[in-house]
Amino acid sequence: MARQQQRLSALQVGKLSKPGLHGDGGGLTLQITATGAKSWLFRYMVAGKPYGMGLGPTPTVSLAEARQKALDARKLLVDGINPLVAKKQIADALTTAKMRTFNQCAAAYIQKHKAGWKNAKHADQWTNTVKTYASPVLGDLPVADVDTGLVVKCLAPIWESKTETASRLRGRIESVLDWATTSGYRTGENPARWKGHLENLLATISRSSRTRNHPSLPWQRIAAFMAALRAREGVSARAVEFCILTASRSGEVRGARWAEFDLAGKVWTIPAERMKARREHEVPLSDAALASLESMPRDGEIVFAGMKGQPLSDVSLTAVIRRMNGDDKPVWVDANGDGVTVHGFRSTFRMWAAETTNYLREVAEHALAHQLPDAVERACQRGAQFTKRAALMAEWAAYCATVPTDAALTPIRRAAQCVATN
How many CB atoms sit inside 10 A of residue 117's CB? 13
Pairwise CA distance, residues 274 & 338, whole Å:
29
Distances (CA, A) of 205 to 93, 150, 215, 350: 45, 21, 14, 23
The correct answer on CATH 1.10.443 for the domain covering 219-417 is: yes
Closest CA to 203 of 133, 238, 156: 156
The reply to whether 102-204 shares the fold of 10-98 is no
CATH topology of domain 102-204: DNA polymerase; domain 1 (1.10.150)
Closest CA to 337 of 132, 120, 162, 75: 162
3-state secondary structure of 418: coil
Distances (CA, A) of 263 to 70, 96, 216: 86, 71, 30
Provide the 8-state DSSP code for 372: P
CATH topology of domain 10-98: Double Stranded RNA Binding Domain (3.30.160)
How many CB atoms sit inside 10 A of residue 419's CB? 14
Pairwise CA distance, residues 99 & 305, whole Å:
53
Closest CA to 169 of 210, 116, 126: 126
Query: What is the full DSSP assignment across 196-225?
Result: TTGGGTSPPPPHHHHHH------GGGHHHH
Task: Outline where DSSP puts E strands in 212-298.
Answer: 261-262, 267-270, 281-284
Would you state the pLDDT for residue 213? 61
Pairwise CA distance, residues 285 & 42, whole Å:
87
Contact 42, 28 (CB under 8 A): yes
275 burial via Cβ count (<10 Å: 0-12, 13-18, 19+): middle
Rg (CA), the chain: 34
Instruction: List beta partners, residue 21.
Output: 31
- Burial per residue of 374-394, b for 16 or more beta-carbon CB atoms within 10 angstroms, e otherwise: eeeeeeebeeebeebbbebbb
Looking at residue 108, its amino acid is A
Long-range contact list for 74-78, CB < 8 A, 24+ apart? 74/26, 74/27, 74/44, 77/44, 77/46
Would you state the pLDDT for residue 137? 93
Domain ranges of the chain: 10-98, 102-204, 219-417
pLDDT tens sequence for the chain (422 residues): 445 567 889 888 888 989 999 999 989 999 999 999 999 999 999 988 999 999 999 989 999 999 999 999 999 899 888 988 888 877 766 666 567 899 999 999 999 988 887 666 778 888 888 999 999 999 989 898 899 999 999 998 888 778 778 888 999 999 999 999 888 888 889 999 998 889 888 865 433 344 446 788 999 999 999 999 999 999 999 999 999 999 999 899 999 999 999 999 999 999 988 888 788 889 999 999 999 999 999 888 999 998 878 889 888 998 999 888 876 677 888 877 788 889 989 999 999 998 898 888 888 888 888 765 444 444 444 554 788 999 999 999 999 998 766 544 433 333 333 344 45
Would you state the pLDDT for residue 7? 87
Kindly report whether the global pTM for this prediction surpasses the value 0.75.
no
